[in-house]
Structure 1
Amino acid sequence: MTATVFSDLVCMLGEGPAAHPALGRLFWFDILGRRLIEKPFQGGAARVHALPFMASMMAVVDDHTQLIAAEDGLYLRDVASGSLRLHRPLEADNPMTRSNDGRVHPSGALWIGTMGKKAETGAGALYWFFRGEIRRLFFGISIVNSIAFSPDGRIAYFADTALGAIWRIDTDPRTGLPAGERRVFATIPPGEGGPDGSVVDADGLLWNARWGGACLDVYAPDGRRRRSLPMPARQVSCPAFIGAAADRLIVTSATENMDAAALRADPLAGQTFLVDPPVAGRFDPPVALA
């Protein structure tokens, strides 16, 4: 497989790519730049929307509305106007944290993680949101990432990038709630990067962007690493499926904490990439608000 540039717009912290199938568009965030970016699946110019806060992920509500996770809560965004309305607060009483990785379970439940704005040890947590209810599932996590689900909704994955560990946990396919104890799924040795965002394809393979490792790792459901695909930027952050059949894969990246020398050595840092050839992807379902 090879990777080419999908968007040359440079992000300080590109994250949270999510397809909007009905619109034929990909949306992603520059968290630190407080920007939401969109671009058609088939190419064309990227459109940039300034945000009043740091935001990290988007879920489809319907053809006209999106749910956005931000530093103080979950917001409804009108696609046509870009207007934002607070739907539910999330750690709004803690100005030291912000949202990070998140994904919608096949049931329509959202799993969303938080983390310290300076990646403070143990400052983050993982939450479940479904039909208006929010529950904290896990806490004491430094950098919540790699939230993804098996196609049948019976398995969830999440990671702490700081620990280099991805966990697997059984889930109720009807609600997306944990149905067992988490156990280690895969680990990345110290010095080889850390697990960032993930997606699971139609065959149950987990595709994980390895932050600091300049690669995309592909894991079988039993945790064995099938292969590692080289990427043209060191700090890759999150993959997403795009295209009419969810058969293309894009990966975001970041320039965060890179000095001038590092940027010269990594000239495509912060850009968003398209991985070829096609893959057996799938789209996340709409989030269930009520």
Structure 2
Amino acid sequence: MNASTWQAELCVDSRCELGEGPQWHAAQKRLYWCDILGKHLHWLDPATDSHASVALDQMVSCAAPVNDGRLLLVGERSLVLFDTERQTQTPLCDFEADNPVTRSNDARVDHHGSLWLSTMGKNAEHGAGSLYRLHRGELVTLRTGLTIPNAICFSADAQSAYFTDTPTGQVMRWALDENGWPVGEPECFADFSAYSGSPDGAVMDSEGCIWLSLWGAGEVVRLDTQGQIIGRIELPVDQPSCPVFAGAGLETLYITTAREGLSLEKLAETPTAGSLYRVETGIAGLAEPSLQLV
């Protein structure tokens, strides 16, 4: 079967150094995303295309919607609750605060309202990263010895979690118990180790397929339940980092991208690298719950 192909269009010319962590806040009808290295939180109202951002005091990789209306900022040294109306911050807990080597990376809320989140070395130091689950306010370590943990998402039936350690090129599937905790060892779901791009952020759609960013390849691929590519979104920039479904009916796919590490020549060729892109695929996303802290 031939894979469907779409072209992404520029949505917000934000030119983040490292755009990441897009999250749809259904109650606010806002899309949030982060510039990790630029230490900014961005948001977009898809209904009006209005965009704004705020400076942060640490590198933050994700702003996850909390069920009380606030955001949880996943930072390099702490988890912080952010009131978007008052723009006030309330510390929740430290997050590898005693490890100056690492920063936060990928994160996504599971079907139980718990947040899976990861860390990595600031210079991608081998094995410096870890994978955690924030469950009812308690931070539990799930896995250590990872390098660039990414692609966190969950099957529609809540029986599997997916993630990748980007340098390995493999997307892993991990069985979950009835409370959302991993069971046994993860298994390889899709192998991109011989591919031109590296697996980065991912999101699940309403049909049980995964949309996976391929860093360096300038594309997001759609994987079926067997891990086979059945769709492809082409971008005019090389480093897509993470997709998310947002807007009315979760019918638009937004994609964060990055400028990090690009040469001056490459930036001249792709000046909108680091910006937010979107595409209408005709396929709706899978609704994600808000984070529950208690």
TM bracket, shorter-chain basis = over 0.9
Question: Are 1:58 and 2:70 matched, yes or no?
Answer: no
Could you give the per-residue CA deviations for residues 205-241 of structure 1, whole angstroms, max 9, x where no partner exists?
0000100010011111111121322112100000011
Which of 26, 29, 36 aligns to 2:31? It is 26
* Residue of structure 1 in register with 2:137 after alignment: 132
TM-score (norm 2): 0.95
One-letter amino acid matched to 1:79: T
Question: Are 1:171 and 2:176 matched, yes or no?
Answer: yes
Q: How many residues get paired? A: 289
Question: Are 1:231 and 2:267 matched, yes or no?
Answer: no
One-letter amino acid matched to 1:156: A
Q: Distance in 2 between matches of 1:222 and 1:277?
A: 20
Shift of 1:41: 1.6
Contact 1:127 1:134 in 2 (8 A): yes
Contact 1:197 1:209 in 2 (8 A): yes
* Residue of structure 1 in register with 2:3 after alignment: none
Which of 217, 242, 246 aligns to 2:246? It is 242
Which of 234, 251, 256 aligns to 1:252? It is 256
Q: Distance in 2 between matches of 1:213 and 1:224?
A: 17
Which of 77, 80, 86 aligns to 2:85? It is 80
One-letter amino acid matched to 1:282: L
Could you give the per-residue CA deviations for residues 96-124 of structure 1, whole angstroms, max 9, x where no partner exists?
10110010001111110000011111110
Moved over 3 A (4+): none
Contact 2:78 2:95 in 1 (8 A): yes
Contact 1:115 1:144 in 2 (8 A): yes
Q: Distance in 2 between matches of 1:273 and 1:97?
A: 28
* Residue of structure 1 in register with 2:221 after alignment: 217
Contact 1:64 1:80 in 2 (8 A): no
TM-score (norm 1): 0.96
Q: Secondary structure at the match of 1:68?
A: strand
**Uncovered stretches (5+) of structure 2, i.e. residues with no partner:** 1-5
Shift of 1:40: 0.2
Shift of 1:170: 0.9
One-letter amino acid matched to 1:271: S
Question: Are 1:10 and 2:15 matched, yes or no?
Answer: yes
Q: Distance in 1 between matches of 2:124 and 2:87?
A: 29
